[in-house]
Structure 1
Amino acid sequence: MSWIFLLLAGTGEMFGMLFLKLSDGFRKRIPTLLAIVSGGLSLYFLSLSLKELPIGTAYGIWTGIGSVGTVLLGILLFNEKASVQRLFFIGCIIAGVVGLKLVS
């Protein structure tokens, strides 16, 4: 169950960043509220995952899911650059996350 909590935490982090972008510097109420709720849920699920997972592993995977997901959302929703180099380094993050899962 701890891995599911960690996946939910990473997803919450990703959506928290999306809503933070949409909040326009906290000027738009609904995206601001959604950013706060997403961030809070992300931390909550991360705390649940830490009951069983090592903190270094959980934190690395949480930030990896959030980072990769946020970059991909930026590419898909905000027409951010999807260069070969950028995609290569996303692959490096994914490899690191997989590696952390394998050694846990």
Structure 2
Amino acid sequence: MIRDNLKKEISPLLGLCIQAPRTSRASLIKGSRSQANALAQQTLIAHWQSIVKILTNDLNVLKANYVPSFLTSKVFTQIFSFINVQLFNSLLLQRECCSFSKENMSKLD
């Protein structure tokens, strides 16, 4: 239940972290590159800081309620695995990040 609640809290922010690079590319085309890049970087940092804040708050709640450290460790291991899977899947959906295609598959046959 704790893990599921953490996932629900983090998922929207993680989605924003994943979408941020795409929006920065669009803004680079329209405006000055350095200014748009700096703004996109600040936005991305803010999203990650929000995720870290949520994780820190939940860790403090677990500690305050004397949850055994091995359970806390298991919860955070599962949460970080969830984050890794979400980020990896987002990379696979971006064409410029994934160079494997059906043509590559036919060469293997």
Class of the TM-score when normalised by the shorter of the 2 chains: 0.5 to 0.7
- 2:78 and 2:39 map into 1 onto residues whose CA distance is 28
The answer for the alignment partner of 1:16 in structure 2 is 17
Please provide the CA RMSD for this pair. Answer: 3.4
Distance 1:37 1:74, change over 3 A: same
How far 1:64 sits from its partner (Å)? 0.9
Q: Which runs of 5+ in 1 are unaligned?
A: 84-104
How far 1:45 sits from its partner (Å)? 1.1
Question: What letter is aligned with 1:60?
Answer: T
- 2:100 and 2:79 map into 1 onto residues whose CA distance is 22
SS class of match (2:79): helix
- 2:72 and 2:100 map into 1 onto residues whose CA distance is 31
Deviation digits for residues 36-92 of structure 1 (CA, Å, limit 9, x no counterpart) = 111111011112222136431232122111110011111112452579xxxxxxxxx
Q: Percent identity, please.
A: 11
How far 1:35 sits from its partner (Å)? 1.2
User: Is the Cα–Cα contact under 8 Å of residues 13 and 50 in structure 2 kept in the other structure?
Assistant: yes
Task: Give the structure with the larger helix fraction.
Answer: 2
- 1:60 and 1:82 map into 2 onto residues whose CA distance is 30
Question: TM-score normalized by structure 1?
Answer: 0.53
Distance 1:69 1:4, change over 3 A: same
Report which of the two structures shows the higher radius of gyration computed on alpha carbons.
2
Distance 1:45 1:74, change over 3 A: same
How far 1:14 sits from its partner (Å)? 6.1
- 1:15 and 1:66 map into 2 onto residues whose CA distance is 13
* Total equivalences in the alignment: 81
The answer for the alignment partner of 2:85 in structure 1 is 68
